[in-house]
Structure 1
Amino acid sequence: MRRLLLSACAGATCLVAGALFAQEAPRLTGPEPFTKETPAPPMQRQVTDDVRRKRNYPDQPPLIPHAIEGYALDLNANKCLACHARKFTEQSQAPMISVTHYQDREGNTLGGVSPRRYSCLACHVPQTAAKPLVPNTFVDMDALVEREPRGR
């Protein structure tokens, strides 16, 4: 009997907590009802100042600091490589793509860009001036290191 009572209390607590958390979460799923058609929000302007942004963590793919609208990126063409491929960086002054993009899954060096790294927009994204949909509590790694007590 005691187990049944504890289980019922735990279940009720979970339901109440879930309802409270659900009320605080912003709605990100679209209109209510879902069958109602609404116009898409306007596209946010891309940041195109060509200024490199600081990375927030090791191995974070760099953001794209320039416009890419109209860039060809398919099986037959990759406009990104016209500037960022090793042989064009001196002329374009663009940063060269990482050497990891020239390696296969086993770490073997290839003569060209690895097929699994060919689709740049799978990892790299343009920066926009859009407001966040949810509050951001992210803390940069450097700030975390500075907070740690010295002498550990």
Structure 2
Amino acid sequence: MKQLISLWILFCIAIAPFAQAEGLRSLRGSTVVNGDVPSENFRWEKDRGPLPRHFVQQPPIIPHTTKGYLITKEFNKCLDCHSWDRTADTGATKISITHFKTRGGTELTNISPRRYFCQQCHVPQTDAKPLVGNTFQPAAGMVK
């Protein structure tokens, strides 16, 4: 066992000079983004109806601004409109039944903790300029 550890240490020392990625940079450069900071790369879009999806199981895109929305473990601003008991009053899309299931498939009476922080999967629309080019095309069955 000691010999294996010694070999591992020698290996790590030997590859250390090569492990540093020279010239590797973040797309943002060295600037750190703190929270919901407006950028010259996009502007918040005005509210609109639901947007089309481009692939199966794509989480819906949020068709309104979320600037200033508070989501903590005690409070979720999204639930003010999207909870099942509020959608009749607000006209907002109802949270999917899948958000009330645990990873093991057990149904809960409230939203699952793993689905509580909405913007882990759902993102607001913007007119953001792409950081890199792409040739993405929607799935054939998703095109109207």
Same fold at TM > 0.5: yes
TM-aligned CA distance change 1:51 to 1:136, over 3 Å: farther
Which structure is larger by alpha-carbon Rg, 1 or 2?
Answer: 1
Cα distance in 1, alignment partners of residues 103 and 86 from structure 2: 25
- The structure with higher relative contact order (CA 8 Å, sep 6+) is 2
Are 2:50 and 1:55 aligned?
Answer: no
Q: Name which of 76, 86, 89 aligns with 1:88.
A: 86
In the aligned structure 2, how far is the partner of 1:81 from the partner of 1:29?
Answer: 32
Q: Where in structure 1 are there 5+ consecutive unaligned residues?
A: 1-26, 146-152
In 2, Cα distance between equivalents of 1:45 and 1:99: 32
1:73 aligns with 2:63: no
Pick the aligned partner of 1:125 from 95, 101, 123: 123
The Cα shift of 1:144 comes to 9.2
Higher helix share: 1
Distance in 2 separating the partners of 1:75 and 1:43? 30
Quick one: distance in 2 between partners of 1:41 and 1:129? 11
Cα deviation per residue 1:10-51 (whole Å; 9 max; x = unaligned)? xxxxxxxxxxxxxxxxx8252xxx59xxxx953621222322
Pairing of 1:30-41 with structure 2 (within 5 A)? 30=29, 41=39
Q: Which residue of 2 aligns with 1:8?
A: none
Separation in structure 1 between the aligned mates of residue 49 and residue 124 of structure 2, nearest angstrom: 12
1:106-151, Cα deviation, whole Å (9 max, x unpaired) = 1111000001100001111111101111112001112799xxxxxx
Q: After the TM superposition, which parts of structure 1 deviate over 4 Å for at least 4 consecutive aligned residues?
A: none
Percent identical? 45
Unaligned runs of 5+ in 2: 1-25, 32-37
TM-score scaled by structure 1? 0.66
TM-score if structure 2 supplies the norm length? 0.70
**Counterpart residue identity of residue 104, structure 1:** T
